[in-house]
Structure 1
Amino acid sequence: MNPVVVVHGGGASNISKDRKECVRQGIMRAATVGYNILKEGGSAVDAVEGAVTVLENDPEFNAGCGSVLNVNGDVEMDASIMNGRDLSTGAVSAVRCIANPIKLARLVMEETSHCFLTDRGATKFAVAMGVPQIPAEKLITERNIKNLEKDKREKGTQKPDGEKNLGTVGAVALDCKGNVAYATSTGGIINKMVGRVGDSPCVGSGGYADNNIGAASTTGHGESILKVNLARLTLFHVEQGKTLEEAATLSLGYMKSRLRGLGGIILVDKTGNWAVKWTSTCMPWAAAKDGKLHCGIERDESTTVDLP
């Protein structure tokens, strides 16, 4: 089986020109790291964790050190990961003071009998597992402080939540043994209530992976994604014989028409086909397969380069 990895950097309504190249380089770097893991014999789970870790460590993306701030100006992060081989999964929500929530989610999957830990319980588990704690301010960027201030000023005049284009990072992969996996991580919504949890840590909404079908990772308005179980809905359409593009179009279209919710999804199936689709203005993405790296940000934009 030829390995494949696809990553996304979240849906967006607008990426400024000065940030666009940084975002493009970040998303390409994440896909390259994930692909190299696969080429070296690593598992799909290794690849999606590796790719998402790159994005969590990049302040251009709404995850890890680039996470947006809640109403109190704090970072609360969510993440999940799933192994399509045995449907094992791990998730965390409302976690603070760690650099890489996706690594903690994997520890939940592999070191506990549970699927999901939250808040203080997740923090206690992280300490028990030796996950380094970092000062809260290390996760806060000047840009996100300004974005929180702007959102508070504009509250009541902005678009409804279902029309917001919101950020998440994620990855899906197929390894050489035919196993698939997904990983999704986010800082959530700017100016969110304390304790708010969106779709990203919720299996079936923020992502899903099953070797019999494929893997998906989503981004967009979390409440809308939760209501339609976007990831599992899309893979259901694949099970019914739709192509990946058709399945993504159907599920995203349903979410938009039913709830006015915008979002995006990346997919890989059990044979190595992949697809990216979104209804927001743009979505940074990259895919690596057969020694080629494909990437784009705007609609109808795609470039391809050879990987080393």
Structure 2
Amino acid sequence: MKKTNLRNLAAVMVATVGIACTATPTAQEDRYVLVIHGGAGTIQKSDMTPEREQAYRATLEEALRTGHKLLQQGSSSLDAVEATIHVLEDSPLFNAGKGAVFTHDGHNELDASIMDGHSGQAGAIAGVRTVRHPISAARAVMEKTEHVLLSGAGADRFAAENGLEIVEPSYFHTPERWQSLQEVLKQDSLKATGNDSKFGTVGCVALDQKGRLAAGTSTGGMTNKRYGRVGDSPIIGAGTYANESVGVSCTGWGEFYIRHVVAHDVAALMAYKGLGVAEATEAVIAKVDKAGGDGGIIALDREGRMSMSFNTAGMYRGAITSSGEVIVGIYQ
């Protein structure tokens, strides 16, 4: 399988206003089948050691390969999204699962959502503390209940009763995230959550061999969050959305994504204005930017065209084609 660096994709990738990256495969049989993100924010190469950058790139590629293998075997887009996000949830590099940030009270509270574009079904969980893979809990809500969103202790109990892997809350404790909380607490302000400690959310969109799309998003939320705050990641239409035409996953300052129904807005622009996936994501991220928000969007349409749009200094991101050609990026 061939690996391609973003800098070598001039023929198929275009940088546009809003710091958007878009790509279209040259042939239908080699379309993009999986797109991921690992958060957006002030990500500067000058602040990254070579070792840490390589760790990010390696984990992003591992996640892509994991989902791609399932898709090549004929698995569903839902299976691919879930398995891909598992890899990112198990890495302390990202603000999801193992690498989740801490609340003001020193807890890790996890949110996730998943949506099946073919059936229109969706599931989500918010504020769980013991579920190793929140994305799997979100899928269980979708498939095993009549609900869309479960939260708090009830969601933890639901996950345990349905056989999902349960861990002690200490499993999510990582020294780096704990130190981030201490630094924010020194500022002694609710507004301290308005820094880049809120970034790191992970997401995935997949297109399977039957042409079905699915999208999922998982996060630890915002460092120093209080009062049971919930962001956009578990909100269908805000942080995650999929229909038969496009799948979308978002990362960034959740309040802005909720107010502007960002994930659904991408799909709406495509359906009602006839925009392509790149035009739609660029238009929506520009709207978020104008409102004062920041972050990014990944999207994949049913023809295998994908887009990665963000208005920050960087976004951990990657994509893979049906033939296994990988692109991974971090900076602008």
Please give the TM-score of this superposition, normalised by the length of structure 1: 0.92
1:110 is aligned, of 132, 143, 150, to 143
Distance 2:53 2:219 in 1: 19
Identity of aligned residues (%): 35
- Tell me which of 248, 260, 275 is aligned to 1:228: 260
Structure 1: which amino acid aligns with 2:40? Answer: G
Shift of residue 195, structure 1, vs aligned partner? 1.2
Give 1:193-204 correspondences, 5 Å limit. Answer: 193-204=226-237
Match for 1:122 among 132, 148, 155?
155
Give 1:41 shift. Answer: 0.5
Deviation at 1:243, TM superposition (A): 1.9
Separation (CA, whole Å) in 1 of partners of 2:140 and 2:113: 11
Does structure 1 retain, via aligned residues, the 8 Å contact 2:198–2:221?
no
Going from structure 1 to structure 2, the CA distance change for 1:118 and 1:148 (only over 3 Å counts) comes to same
Structural mapping, 1:1-308, within 5 Å: 4-14=33-43, 16-18=47-49, 19-156=52-189, 161=194, 166-211=199-244, 213-239=245-271, 240-258=273-291, 260-289=292-321, 290-299=323-332
Is residue 133–residue 165 contact of structure 2 (8 Å, CA) maintained in 1?
no
Q: How big is each residue's C-alpha offset from its partner over 1:54-89, in whole Å with a ceiling of 9 and x where there is no partner? A: 000000000000000000110000000000011011
Name the residue aligned to 1:304: none
What is the distance in 2 between the residues matched to 1:36 and 1:224? 35
Q: For 1:131-154, what per-residue CA distance to the aligned partner results, in whole angstroms no more than 9, with x for missing partners?
A: 232111110100001000011113
AA aligned to 1:17 is: M
What is the alpha-carbon distance in structure 2 between the residues aligned to residue 223 and residue 82 of structure 1?
Answer: 20
Q: How many residues get paired?
A: 297
Could you tell me how far apart the structure 2 residues matched to 1:112 and 1:46 are? 18
**Preserved CA contact (<8 Å) 1:70 1:194:** no
CA–CA distance in 1 between the matches of 2:128 and 2:198?
23
| CA drift at 1:291 | 2.1
Deviates more, 1:149-158 or 1:221-230: 149-158
Please give the alpha-carbon distance, in whole angstroms, between the structure 2 residues aligned to 1:143 and 1:164: 11
Report the TM-score, using the length of structure 2 for normalisation.
0.86
**1 CA distance for matches of 2:275 and 2:230?**
31
Q: Which sections of structure 1, spanning at least 5 residues, go unmatched?
A: 300-308
Which runs of 5 or more structure 2 residues have no equivalent in the other structure?
1-28
- Structure 1 position 161, deviation (Å): 2.8
For residues 253 and 14 of structure 1, the distance between their equivalents in structure 2, rounded to whole angstroms, comes to: 19
Match of 1:303 in 2: none
- CA shift, 1:155, in A, is 4.4
Which is bigger in relative contact order (C-alpha 8 A, separation at least 6)?
2
1: CA distance between counterparts of 2:33 and 2:40? 22
Aligned CA distance change for structure 1 residues 111 and 117 (closer, same or farther; 3 Å): same
**Amino acid in structure 2 at the alignment position of 1:207:** T
The question of whether the paired residues in 2 share the 8 Å contact of 1:264 and 1:283 is answered with yes
Instruction: Say if 1:79 and 1:184, in contact at 8 Å, map to a contact too.
Output: yes
Once residues 157 and 113 of structure 1 are traced to their aligned partners in structure 2, the CA distance between those partners, rounded to angstroms, is 36
State how far apart, in whole Å, the 1-side matches of 2:216 and 2:270 are.
Answer: 19
SS at match of 1:133: coil
Cα separation, 1, equivalents of 2:194 and 2:174: 23
Q: What is the CA-CA distance between 1:120 and the residue it aligns to?
A: 1.6
TM-aligned CA deviation for residue 162 of structure 1: 8.3
Q: In 1, distance between residues paired with 2:97 and 2:197?
A: 21
**Aligned with 2:92: secondary structure?**
coil
Q: Which amino acid aligns with 2:33?
A: V
CA contact (8 A) 1:162 1:221 kept: no
Cα RMSD over matched residues?
1.8
- 1:242 positional shift: 1.4
